Amino acid sequence: MASGDAKHEQLDGVRADADDTELTTQQGVRIDHTDDSLQAGERGPTLLEDFHFREKVTHFDHERIPERVVHARGAGAYGHFQPYDGWLADYTAAKFLTDPEVSTPLFVRFSTVAGSRGSADTVRDVRGFATKFYTEQGNYDLVGNNFPVFFIQDGIKFPDFVHAVKPEPHNEIPQAASAHDTLWDFVSLQPETLHTIMWLMSDRAIPRSYRMMQGFGVHTFRLVNAQGKGTFVKFHWKPVLGSHSLVWDECQKIAGADADFNRRDLWDAIEGGRFPEWELGVQLVEESDEFAFDFDLLDATKIIPEEQVPVRPVGKMVLDRNPDNFFAETEQIAFHTANVVPGIDFTNDPLLQARNFSYLDTQLIRLGGPNFAQIPINRPVAEVSTNQRDGYGQQRIHRGTTSYTPNTLGGGCPAIADSEVFKHYQARVDGDKIRRRSESFSDHFSQPTLFWNSMARWEKEHIVEAFRFELGKVGDQGVRERVLGELNHIDHDLAAAVAHGIGLEAPAGSTENHGRSSPALSQANSPTESVETRKVAVLVADGVDAPAVQQLRRELSELGAVAEVLGAGHDGKVRSADGSEVDVDVAARTAMSVVYDAVFVPGGAESARTLAADGHAVHFVAEAYKHHKTIAASDEGVDVVRQAGVAERARELAERDGFAADGGVVLGASTGGSLPERFVEEFAAALGRHREWDRDTSSVPA
Ligand code: HDD
């Protein structure tokens, strides 16, 4: 039985620590001098015989490998997956999905798509969500995204799409952004992109955290049970912390304040022992129902609405260990959609078929040859025995004289396996050799409309704003107009609202909106009350009310949130009103509100006066308010909120009643030296709601 640690036991054999070692060459020759090269005389030329210099610099010269052609920017972590029970055994022979006793080790890599390896995390983009399960029956890779649909229907269009979205070739601008002419030119001419474009313009494209986004296998795959019966399946990952997003203004600022925002968030959560979790779910469709839908199951630009086919829970994934070395693990991991195990198979989805070619091919150039599966992060925990030999970077010493099948000289080994083998699902294929898209793939508008109809008011507003931003960056009028024409087939109000924002006439006429919706598509319906791992900024200066700081910090931390004390003016410590000292975590000037979920301004007359006179602190509060975040202030701290010119109604209520919890703003006075119980309760409740989306912040100048 594979334990959750089988992969780590394997990797322990190659993990290397420098502790208690002394410097050597690659050949193990000990070195006592690595600061000066070997020269002919003190000011003379470097000598060719300086093997240490040559080895050191040569290795350095070869340190880089090609970045992934897409999904170059990413972050990963180890974890494990365990099914809740065995119900899925009726549908699949895959043990790791059906044996609740088996905890399967895995590695997940999250990524953005368009940007280079060093690009910012918070760009508007799809997020990759790729999972390598090291199962007892071999490696299974679920190479998905955080959107359930894809931009194109046939993989032969992938180079076209990627060329359009990547930085433009003449000047390599813009980095990691879709807001430029070539992408929208392509979109305007290729309506199959529209459904995924709607997702891209939605808040799904700017997740608050990798830990707070859904994952999807996208394609319809096939499960195959022990009797060889097939069932269509779509895979879903649902985050336990709910699905939440940033706002666009915030994203752009975070890209400067902390380009590693999502990467750091994942790292910190795992280091802090707050392990991210997702539930794996499946939508199952009997083969007899293949044609029961008004779209084609093989078309990756379509979802199966969850209201039509429910997502049934299978098990849970927990990520509980960060990598030791980014390059060795996160960079060298090689995913491949064709890495399947018995019980999981493909369908004829032409996008999937193309991927099954592309992923193996890309690793050959990226990882330098055919032995990349022997790189530690890629090695299965299942036994490997092939007749494949030699090649760059061969790590194994294959003994014996035979490397062919059949043989007698090697005792017939490796023998042909006779149990738990992968058998391709048997299906009859018959047809003319043609290059033509199936007619059943031709409806490009119904599901974008379904998506639009399913959005909450504020989600629709964000989509309109996103289109205005993106098309506002498009110079070519023809492209802008053509995109509006496409949007008009989705919904006239959408097209008109976007047109207004980019100074164009709303397109005439329109396709009638079918009026259907799927509530599961809205993030408004994926709430969570949890404040786990939420980051709260506590703004302080000398003279602060120390008990309020300590109390909020303690009580939030009991709930799993993280409060950081930001010192105005300096870090180190601030002197409090009662003469004690309060430790500062971060100097306020080095931090921006955008990297926090909420802000608390405690009282203390001197502290509040300092903060109210400090433009950075005042802006901090106003900006957090603008981004719909939870704002709290106690006693004189309310003066800082007043100075920021925000939360007028809450301030009025607080003045009248001595306490206010209104629209994500909590204001109140301490009594007997502590914050009232409901202060922290209301604060946590607002924080758990993630954002106060109904707050109108359009006039806040931040
Ligand atoms: Fe892809 C990487 C997801 C279509 C070709 N893809 C890649 C990664 C993810 C996806 C998550 C990063 C894996 C990692 O972290 O290393 N790709 C998708 C999804 C698709 C999709 C969900 C549609 C449903 N991809 C797609 C097509 C093709 C590719 C149609 C080619 C025909 N994808 C690649 C690639 C990459 C890749 C070029 C780049 C690096 C790599 O594979 O390992 O082969």
**pLDDT tens per residue across span 583-618:** 999 999 999 999 999 999 999 999 999 999 999 999
Q: What is the pLDDT of residue 631?
A: 98
Residues 405-429: pLDDT tens digits?
Answer: 999 999 999 999 999 999 999 999 9
pLDDT band (50, 70, 90) for residue 694: very high
Under DSSP, the state recorded for 543 is T
Q: Are strands 562-567 and 535-540 parallel, antiparallel or unpaired?
A: parallel
Q: How far is the CA of 70 from the centre of ligand 1 (A)?
A: 7
pLDDT band (50, 70, 90) for residue 159: very high
Tokens of 365: 């150039």
Which atom belonging to ligand 1 lies closest to the Cα atom of 130?
11
Q: Map tokens 């009662």 to a residue.
A: 578
Measured over the CA atoms of residue 323, residue 324, residue 330 and residue 332, the dihedral's sign is negative
Query: In terms of Cα–Cα distance, which of 277, 257, 254 is closest to 266?
Result: 277
Q: What is the pLDDT of residue 172?
A: 97
Helix axis angle for 615-626 and 605-612, nearest 10°, is 80
For ligand 1, atom 15, the nearest C-alpha belongs to 109
Q: What is the pLDDT of residue 571?
A: 81
Tokens of 177: 């952004």
Tokens of 24: 């050597």
Q: At residue 4, does pLDDT exceed 70?
A: no
Question: Which of 67, 71, 357 has the most ligand 1 atoms within 8 A of CB, as the residue to mutate?
Answer: 71
% of the chain residues with pLDDT over 70: 99
The verdict on whether residue 359 carries a ligand-binding annotation is yes
Kindly name the residue from 145, 262, 322, 371 that is annotated as catalytic. Answer: 145
Under DSSP, the state recorded for 17 is -
Q: Which helix (H) or strand (E) holds 224?
A: strand 221-224
Q: What is the pLDDT of residue 529?
A: 83
The verdict on whether residue 158 carries a ligand-binding annotation is yes
pLDDT band (50, 70, 90) for residue 643: very high
Are residues 463 and 452 in contact, defined by beta-carbon separation less than 8 angstroms? yes
Which atom belonging to ligand 1 lies closest to the Cα atom of 300?
24
Count of other CB atoms within 10 angstroms of residue 429: 5
Q: What is the pLDDT of residue 511?
A: 80
Q: How far is the CA of 316 from the centre of ligand 1 (A)?
A: 24
Q: Stretch 8-15: mean pLDDT, rounded?
A: 97
Q: Which string of b and e fits 245-282 if b means at least 16 CB within 10 Å?
A: bbbbbbbbbbbebbbbbbbebbeebbeeeebbbbbbbb
Tell me the C-alpha distance between 583 and 567, whole Å: 9
Q: What is the pLDDT of residue 274?
A: 95
* DSSP3 helix / strand / coil % (the chain, rounded to 5): 35, 20, 50
Q: Map tokens 């709260």 to a residue.
A: 536
Are residues 72 and 115 in contact, defined by beta-carbon separation less than 8 angstroms? yes
For ligand 1, atom 25, the nearest C-alpha belongs to 355
Are residues 265 and 126 in contact, defined by beta-carbon separation less than 8 angstroms? no
pLDDT band (50, 70, 90) for residue 2: very low
Q: Stretch 324-333: mean pLDDT, rounded?
A: 98
Residues at CB less than 6 angstroms from ligand 1: 68-71, 74, 109, 111, 128, 130, 143-145, 150, 155, 158, 218-219, 300, 333, 335, 351, 354-355, 358-359, 362
Q: What is the pLDDT of residue 302?
A: 98
Are residues 612 and 643 in contact, defined by beta-carbon separation less than 8 angstroms? yes
Residues 231-257: pLDDT tens digits?
Answer: 999 999 999 999 999 999 999 999 999
pLDDT band (50, 70, 90) for residue 702: confident
Q: At residue 623, does pLDDT exceed 70?
A: yes
Are residues 583 and 551 in contact, defined by beta-carbon separation less than 8 angstroms? no
Tokens of 271: 């280091």
Residues 175-197: pLDDT tens digits?
Answer: 999 999 999 999 999 999 999 99
Cis peptide before 414 (omega within 30 of 0): yes
- Helix count and strand count (H, E) for the chain: 18, 19
Residues 493-509: pLDDT tens digits?
Answer: 999 999 999 999 999 98
Would residue 145 show up in a list of annotated catalytic residues for this protein?
yes
Q: At residue 619, does pLDDT exceed 70?
A: yes
Q: At residue 1, does pLDDT exceed 90?
A: no
Say if pTM beats, i.e. exceeds, 0.95. yes
Q: What is the pLDDT of residue 526?
A: 84
Tell me the C-alpha distance between 133 and 333, whole Å: 12
Tell me the C-alpha distance between 599 and 593, whole Å: 8
For 156, residues 6+ apart whose C-beta sits below 8 A from its C-beta are 350, 354
Q: How far is the CA of 356 from the centre of ligand 1 (A)?
A: 10
Q: Interior CA angle at 14 toward 9 and 16, to 5°?
A: 115
Q: Map tokens 């006179």 to a residue.
A: 613
For ligand 1, atom 22, the nearest C-alpha belongs to 144
Domains within the chain, CATH numbers bracketed: 39-378 (2.40.180.10), 447-515 (1.20.1370.20), 535-688 (3.40.50.880)
Question: What is the residue-averaged pLDDT of the chain?
Answer: 97
For ligand 1, atom 11, the nearest C-alpha belongs to 128
Exposed/middle/buried for residue 2 (C-beta within 10 Å: 0-12, 13-18, 19+)? buried
Q: Which helix (H) or strand (E) holds 360?
A: helix 350-366
For ligand 1, atom 19, the nearest C-alpha belongs to 144
The verdict on whether residue 68 carries a ligand-binding annotation is yes
Would residue 52 show up in a list of annotated catalytic residues for this protein?
no
Q: Stretch 443-454: mean pLDDT, rounded?
A: 98
Q: Stretch 559-570: mean pLDDT, rounded?
A: 93
Q: What is the pLDDT of residue 264?
A: 98
